[in-house]
């Protein structure tokens, strides 16, 4: 063991030695190390200096926990590399600032198995509440959570039966807005590229409805249901659609990241300059592109912020009558489609 020297020395120092050095009681030393937030800053400083001087090492296995629920709230994030989820965690953390609660996050990779695994390992730590950037997947996970009678926040979707509370939006409505826009714009050879399951299925269904309402229809679907999409997937998807559906005049991508990849690819290739693009999400890049991107705006930060505030009210014991908040969808029409409309 590489650090034996330090460990050996530390084993001979007892909490009483630290207390004597710091001029405080042993229980104060213990508190300063395990629950520093309840100890005066000056006392804590003195204890820490004594710890440093004596080389004391806490016996972690023997140290006992505070009773009651923890001060942390566990947030389960489907994919932390998705900037929308990252922004939602920021909004949520901002809402919790100075509340005494701390946000801790875990990644579930959209996997029901990982989600169940994480929930099972987090519950014994007695989190004050649970947040999910989606709706909880497995029925047994739902039951396990319900059995705790704790505050739970689901997000990013609109379901009739949330576990407890929900702040989300309707993916069906978002897709429908885009379908109506494409139909009214007069596009006639229309493709959909992206997820066709879960939220993707809803966006696609809404898109078809919106097209139908304006007398248009969907000519081609290119499903991308594997790993979370990256920029390069959008460029690749554009090339594939141009081959398989050469008459295409407009493409709706199920997420901005795909549309951005396609848009940057198109900027290098005149052969696709007659094709309209749209995305979903309104990431920071959508507006900054050489041809700014039409997209459905998702208020990720606001969703996280409102979820955090709603949880705080519940944790403070207030009555929360409005259990479910559905944020409106907003279509942002920019040059990527607008330049083809007379």
The residues near 64 (Cβ < 8 Å, ≥ 6 apart) are none
For residue 57, the minimal CB distance to a second copy (Å) is 4
- The interface with a second copy within residues 277-316 (CB under 8 A) comprises 284-285, 288-290
Q: What is the DSSP string of 15-69?
A: HHHHHHHHTS-HHHHHHHHH-GGGS-HHHHHHHHHHHHHHT----TTTPPPPSS-
Q: Which one of residues 74, 153, 166, 190 is an interface residue with a second copy (CB under 8 A)?
A: 74
C-beta neighbour count of 268 within 10 angstroms = 8
241 is a contact residue toward a second copy (CB under 8 A): no
d(CA 137, CA 11): 47
Among the residue ranges 136-144, 167-175, 187-195, 217-225, the one whose residues contact a second copy (CB under 8 A) = 136-144
For residue 184, the minimal CB distance to a second copy (Å) is 27
Q: Which one of residues 56, 187, 253, 305 is an interface residue with a second copy (CB under 8 A)?
A: 56
Give which of 213, 237, 331 is closest to 278, Cα–Cα: 331
61 is a contact residue toward a second copy (CB under 8 A): yes
35 is a contact residue toward a second copy (CB under 8 A): yes
C-beta neighbour count of 51 within 10 angstroms = 20
Judged by CB, which is closer to a second copy: 144, or 242? 144
For residue 153, the minimal CB distance to a second copy (Å) is 14
Q: Please report, for residues 34, 240, 275, 338, 341, the alpha-carbon distance to residue 335 in angstroms, rounded to integers and kept in the order given.
A: 57, 23, 12, 5, 10
Judged by CB, which is closer to a second copy: 97, or 247? 97
User: Residue count at the site for a second copy (CB under 8 A)?
Assistant: 81
- The interface with a second copy within residues 255-274 (CB under 8 A) comprises 261, 264-265, 267-268
């Amino acid at each position: 063991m590489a650090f034996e020297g330090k460990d050996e020395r530390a084993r001979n120092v007892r909490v009483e030695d630290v207390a004597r050095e710091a001029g405080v009681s042993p229980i104060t030393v213990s508190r300063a190390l395990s629950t520093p937030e309840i100890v005066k800053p000056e006392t804590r400083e003195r204890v820490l200096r004594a710890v440093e001087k004596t080389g004391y090492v806490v016996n972690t296995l023997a140290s006992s926990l505070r009773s009651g629920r923890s001060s942390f709230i566990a947030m389960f994030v489907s994919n932390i590399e998705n900037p929308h989820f990252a922004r939602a965690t920021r909004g949520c953390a901002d809402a919790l600032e100075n509340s005494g609660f701390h946000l801790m996050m875990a990644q579930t990779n959209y996997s029901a198995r990982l989600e169940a695994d994480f929930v099972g390992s987090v519950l014994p730590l007695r989190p004050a509440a649970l947040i999910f950037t989606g709706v909880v997947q497995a029925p047994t996970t739902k039951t396990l959570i319900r059995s705790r009678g704790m505050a739970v926040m689901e997000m990013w979707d609109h379901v009739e039966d949330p576990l407890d509370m929900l702040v989300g939006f309707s993916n069906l409505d978002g897709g429908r807005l885009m379908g109506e826009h494409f139909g009214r714009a007069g596009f006639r050879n229309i493709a959909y590229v992206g997820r066709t399951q879960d939220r993707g299925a809803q966006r696609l269904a809404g898109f078809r409805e919106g097209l139908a309402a304006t007398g248009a229809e969907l000519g081609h679907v290119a499903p991308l249901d594997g790993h979370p999409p990256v920029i390069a997937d959008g460029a690749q998807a554009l090339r594939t659609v141009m081959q398989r559906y050469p008459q295409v005049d407009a493409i709706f991508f199920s997420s901005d990241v795909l549309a951005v990849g396609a848009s940057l690819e198109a900027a290098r290739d005149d052969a696709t300059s007659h094709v309209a693009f749209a995305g979903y999400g309104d990431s920071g890049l959508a507006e900054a592109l050489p041809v700014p991107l039409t997209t459905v705006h998702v208020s990720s930060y606001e969703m996280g912020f409102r979820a955090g505030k709603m949880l705080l009210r519940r944790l403070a014991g207030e009555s929360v009558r409005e259990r479910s908040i559905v944020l409106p969808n907003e279509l942002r029409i920019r040059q990527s489609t607008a330049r083809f409309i007379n």
